[in-house]
Structure 1
Amino acid sequence: MVNGCIIRIRTEIVACCQNPACSLEIADQKGNTVKGTPLLETGDAKLVARAYNLGFKMVANVATTLTVEQLEYWEQNLSGIPDALRKGFGLDQSEQLEAPQAPPPPRPSFVFADTNALKALKEAEDLAEEFFGHRPDLRKQFTMPETLPWKSVIAVYDPGDLDNRATLNKALKAQKCLKDIYEESAVENYSGSEASGKPTLRFIERSEKPTENTMGLSANEMVATKRTFLDLRGYAIAFGTYHKATGRFLDSETWTRFPHNRLRSGKVADGYWDPGCSQVDFCWFVAGLRLSRAGGREAVECALATP
């Protein structure tokens, strides 16, 4: 226990390239932020000695934890070890943050016809035709909202018969520049990985970064806002749709979290583009961890049109 925070050592070291370093905050049991200072910078000889002592204890776990591939990777990427350590220390999975005291700010409102929604719908239909095997008529299949909170959007069409694995294969791997994908945990291990069973259409902001007012929130805090967030499968579709239309990538400097997609341990899924490895990465963070470059993507879901 350090300053009221429960600290644990992650049992596996992530053998993948990392996004640029971001500031890391750990919240205590009351949701208060404890901003860490590197121990060497404290000037406290006792703390530094304790750090080295902990390091010696960690060394004993290396041979029992790393695989051959991970060993070879980190031998060639020593500069990435500090970032891996920063990511490897976090809250215990039983930790739950209190909901933010202030409600989320109200969304702006744009008349549907004044947005790029029609163009976005065509892009979604183009992706479905090429990679899902059919071309939907989304304006007939779904009821369009009268307004949207963003002037520029991405339309995310999920046909309903694809699980996480099939979606990655069709929306991402089928595109030449997106064929390489790293999964820290297999995408079928997260909750919500099964096919939804019915078509869905959602609009998200057309931005390469997550929704601005979610940046720095933990996954638990996002859930507490009661707003709708894009899930892992929707993110893969949005990523594929955006790249097919523009040739660009989502989250080359940020992470998008999927607060409702969790492993049995409670770890929360996230995704981003790793420019160093030229691949889409799906990793996880503990639910109570705040990162300044991580956020969620708020979504507006459309109802199926009545016959």
Structure 2
Amino acid sequence: MKTVEQRNEGNLEGTTLNMILTKVFNWAYENDPILYKNLDFHFKAHQCRSALSEEEMREVFLLKLVSKDDVLKLLSKAITLSDFHDTNKFSWVFGNSLSYKEAGSEEWKDSYRDVISQIQTQFGLLRDKGFDSWHKSTDLKKHKHFRFWINKFLEDDQLYFLRFFVQHTGNVQSFDTLYVGTNESESYHAIIQYILEQNICPDPHHKELQVPDFVNPDLYNPRSIQSSGRFGGFHYLVYLTAAELQEIYETSLLNEQFKDMEKSMWSYINASSTDKETRFFLFLT
């Protein structure tokens, strides 16, 4: 019987993170309960399986695991496919602060020392490429549905309006709103295109935004917003930082002829401090 390395030599390139994790889950269920529980706590076995197509499930079945070395090779490959969020999940799987009583012992962790080393290597690679961010991901398959909607907002003939809900940190004024314009404006197109080109994705730590009620002076009864637009199937809250918007202005819009409202908006953005992170949450109508 061929090992996973022999079976997939030259072919693992087309194997996705969910395919690899599903195979590892199947092996760990019988052979390493601690690994199974650690992985399941952070990656959820049923979510990995349900994300696979029938063809991908057949490919998973063909992956042959003969020894622990095969599993280590698969895990190392999975880490190289991981974005910042998933790389952090792997670090938690093999970390020191696991969230349930059957955390792995030092001896157990030592058996995965090569995998742990690969995690640190991946963090370095992500940092070098500028993708060590919670709201950036090069895993296009993982964010396929989100990117479908962003492309729709960019290419659709329907009229869309874009606003920013601005959330400051470290400032006295904690919240603002800005009107960007419609999809007939250059600003709109530059912003949406930037999200696609720079692989911006929803931040798992910011799935809800509390918008204050400006009618009440004590900001009582805030509104909870959980997506950047109320469209069927679009359930993503996404933001850009002041630094990213300033980059858009410098690289794509510096020579554009703006209307007065757009001039005011970009003046506000360019005056925003990047020392304390300011998040500009998109809201489309």
> Could you tell me the TM-score, scaled by structure 2's length?
0.26
Q: Which structure's residues are more often strand, by fraction?
A: 1
Q: Which structure's residues are more often helix, by fraction?
A: 2
Kindly indicate whether structure 1 or structure 2 has the higher relative contact order, using CA contacts under 8 Å at least 6 residues apart.
1
